[in-house]
Structures are given as structure tokens and as C-alpha cells.
Structure 1
């Protein structure tokens, strides 16, 4: 069986995004615990730096991919009527796309 059909790629993608998100959260929360931003402006300046902005964008891309793989697998495993599964996946995809668009607007405003 090919890796595409076996779900190995989806499994690996979900694990890699989970590891990245965990590392990002630990480092970000650790930095905020050790040296908390003094004001909203200081926080915006820190998040707006090049490296942190890229890391934050990657975090949210990983979050959307992680959520899609997980919810898609749940729908494929437990929602048996095809029409209902397609409708559910369309709603999940639209919701994740809306979330991604919102995050782009938020991060672009920094």
C-alpha cells in the first residue's frame, strides 16, 4: 500500500505540527514568564519582529493543518453517510479558512 493511501503522511503531518506548536508555546510562554512585555505596545513590537512574526505565522499554519487532519480523520472514521460527511468537511474547511483569514488580518495589523 502506498504511503498516500495508508494515512502515513497525515499522521506524520499531525505529529510534526504538534511538536512545532508545543515548542513554540513553551518558548513563547517561557519568554513571557521571564521577561513579560511591559505594555501592549511592547508586546506588539516583540510579536512584530521578523523572526517572531514568521514563527507565529508558522504556528497558526500548523494549527490549521493540525485541526484539519484531526477533524477530517474523525469525520472519515465516524460519519458514515457520504453526504453528511462531505457537508461536515465543507463546514470544517470553511471554518478553518475563516480562522486563517482572520489570523492573516490580525498578524498583518501588527
Structure 2
């Protein structure tokens, strides 16, 4: 794959994920502004609604992909030493994978009621 195709794909991922992230966060902010869950049980009931759970399960990988493309581009542009760039990319990859696994576990645990 050429560098140009890689850049176009990164651009498309960044823009498409930004649209979904903005729409979903807008939905959550409007919902919580006008009808916030009263307690933890109400919040869990809301999260375990199938459409909301699906929305969160789509939100998480899109957020991680959006963050990865952004941080990768910043590191490629501004960290010129190859070893430092690889170390930082590895660190951020670990952080994003660990955060994603933790968030998926939280959603699945809420859905199972544990």
C-alpha cells in the first residue's frame, strides 16, 4: 500500500469516527441534560438498553481508532528520532488497548448485572 493511500485511509477514519463520536456524545449530553438517571440503578438500566449498549460498543472502538490516528500523526510529525517515536507509539498502543479492554469489560459487566 502506498503512503498516499495510508494517508487517505487515516483521514477517512478520523472524519468518519469524528461524526459518530459527535452525534453519540451529543445524544448523551442532551439526554443527561433533560432526563439524567436518578441513581446508579437507573444508569445501569439505561446502559443495558440494547440500542444504548450497541451505541457504546460502537463508540469505544471508534474513539480508540480516532485517538490512535490522531496521536500517530502527531508523533510522526513532531518526534523525529525513530527510537523515541517507536517507544511512544508502543506506549500509546498499550494504553489504548488496555483502556479499550477495561471499557468493554465495564459495559459487559453492567449488561450482565454483576
2:75 aligned partner = 75
2:35 aligned partner = 35
Structure 2, unaligned runs of 5 or more: none
Q: Does 1:9 align with 2:35?
A: no
* Residues 1-110 of structure 1 aligned to structure 2 (within 5 Å): 3-5=4-6, 7-110=7-110
Report Cα offsets for 1:70-93 as digits up to 9, x if no partner: 000011111111111111100010
Secondary structure of the structure 2 residue equivalent to 1:80: coil
Report Cα offsets for 1:84-107 as digits up to 9, x if no partner: 111110001001011011101111
Secondary structure of the structure 2 residue equivalent to 1:109: helix
**What TM-score, normalized to structure 2?**
0.89
Structure 1, unaligned runs of 5 or more: none
Matched positions, count: 109
Return the offset for 1:2: 6.8
Q: For the residues of structure 2 that align with 1:58 and 1:94, how far apart are their CA atoms?
A: 20
Q: For the residues of structure 1 that align with 2:3 and 2:88, how far apart are their CA atoms?
A: 27
Q: For the residues of structure 2 that align with 1:109 and 1:3, how far apart are their CA atoms?
A: 41
